[in-house]
Structure 1
Amino acid sequence: MIEKISSWRMKFFLWVGLPVIAIIGLAMSAPDVGPAWQAKSGGGTAGTFTAVSEECGRRSCTWHGDFEAAEGGAADVILYDAPDGLTAGGTAAARDTGAGKGVFSAEGGSTWLLVTGITLAGALAAIAWVVIVVRTITTRRRDKAAIDRLARTPVQG
């Protein structure tokens, strides 16, 4: 009974879990890898982030606010790697590197590592899933060919 449950769970993970991990990892994080690394190296447009509201989840909080640079600003963006002690109405130096939803704190942080890790996990899941699909198809074709050969072999008796 336990073997059947384990086998069922493994099949579910291989055929459903891996593609979901791949899609989430690649679709949601891959577009922000370049901007995160650019912010890590100090690139992008410098400006000031003004905190408007804080949204907290189970493990972390995210600051929403306005970013203003010399060339213009953006409203309702997220501040990645917000500095400790930021309060509503407070400001922080930030960099706009083209990330989809926000700007990065000029003080730095570990968002680049998280985004890179999630993207790599998505890429590895996609590669593993493709390998599993190809191996399954190849094995089934080989088994079918073996069955066809055996079906054509006369029975001796």
Structure 2
Amino acid sequence: MLEKISDWRLRFFLWVGLPVIAVMGLAFAAPDLVPAWQAKSGAGAAGTFNAVSEQCGRRNCSWYGDFVPDAGGTPRKHVILYDAPDGLAQGGTTPARDTGAGKGVFATAGGSTWLLVTGFTVAAALASVGWVVLVVTTIRRRRRDAATIERLAGTPVQR
């Protein structure tokens, strides 16, 4: 299979793209995988999210604010609200859950953040496995080729 990889774009993706996808996905998505699934199942500390500011990009907007747990405890300042409900306005509040996600809390109304985080984590894991297979296969092929040259030449090849 690897002998047929001649297109430079494909080789660039395999040697550079796969490790970048793996590192980015494992660094950014994997730490929030368990908290996202806990929020989906209703676990975590219940509380109230107070909307302070909205930051919008080209495709979506995110609410930042403060989370105050219902049972007391330490409030979290300037966190993002994942799965924010429609109609939330500055100064508004919404029920939320803190499941330990690094940058935010989850709205209790639910949403698809758990699916997005799971997808990125699975893609990162597959990219990691694919890149390791690529490296191992390449090393084995080069060793086999060197052994073949050595056998045909009848003299040891410098390694």
SS of the residue corresponding to residue 88 of structure 1 reads: coil
Q: Which residue of 2 aligns with 1:93?
A: 95
SS of the residue corresponding to residue 134 of structure 1 reads: helix
Q: Which residue of 2 aligns with 1:104?
A: 106
The letter of the residue matching 1:19 is: P
Q: Which residue of 2 aligns with 1:61?
A: 61
Say how many residue pairs are matched.
148
Q: Which residue of 2 aligns with 1:42?
A: 42
CA distance in 1, matches of 2:73, 2:150: 71
What is the percent sequence identity of the aligned residues? 69
Q: What 5-or-longer segments of structure 2 have no aligned partner?
A: 1-5
- After TM superposition, give the deviation of residue 152 of structure 1 in Å: 0.7
- After TM superposition, give the deviation of residue 72 of structure 1 in Å: 2.8
The letter of the residue matching 1:47 is: G
CA distance in 2, matches of 1:8, 1:148: 29
CA distance in 2, matches of 1:60, 1:110: 14
CA distance in 2, matches of 1:33, 1:10: 30
Q: How does 1:59-138 map to 2 (within 5 A)?
A: 59-69=59-69, 70-138=72-140
CA distance in 2, matches of 1:139, 1:13: 20
Q: What 5-or-longer segments of structure 1 have no aligned partner?
A: 1-5
CA distance in 2, matches of 1:93, 1:47: 6
Runs of 4+ in structure 1 off by over 6 angstroms are none
TM-score (norm 1): 0.92
SS of the residue corresponding to residue 119 of structure 1 reads: helix
